[in-house]
Amino acid sequence: MTEPQDAPQPPPVETQFVRSNFQRVIHADGAWGTFTPQWNIHMALYSERWALPERTSVIFDPKGIREEPDRGRGLIREIEADVILSEEGAVRLRTWLDERISQLRQARYGSESSPESGE
């Protein structure tokens, strides 16, 4: 049995974006995560920065006053948000990101590959 070629299409559905009381803009340098016992993907978005010193020393000398910080304790990955995605949601997110990356590279480099990636 074949479908009629002039089958009626469903009408478009208007979609509204509503911001929750906790919505905010964050910066993410990367993500870390795993899957949950319920087979969802747990993704923690983080921003990276060098550790700030716990204290500094103010030094007075004939050339002026200067400040010397104690060394920080390495790299900090500050988790900004945790996201739980179903497998289907993760695939849709990956598709959306692939599309945005393609558009960005086209606008930035004039093609879909970046000079650094060698793609």
Q: Which of 33-38's residues contact partners 24+ apart within 8 Å by CB, and which partners?
A: 36/84
Domain containing 117 equals: 87-119
Burial of 1 (0-12, 13-18, 19+ CB in 10 A): exposed
pLDDT in tens, the chain (119 residues): 556 678 899 999 999 999 999 999 999 999 999 999 999 999 999 999 988 888 888 989 888 898 887 776 789 999 999 999 999 999 999 999 999 999 999 999 998 776 666 55
Domain count, the chain: 2
| 110 & 67 share domain | no
| 40 & 74 share domain | yes
pTM for the complete prediction? 0.68
In a domain, 62, yes or no: yes
- 43 strand-pairing partners: 33, 83
Sign of CA dihedral 93, 98, 104, 108: positive
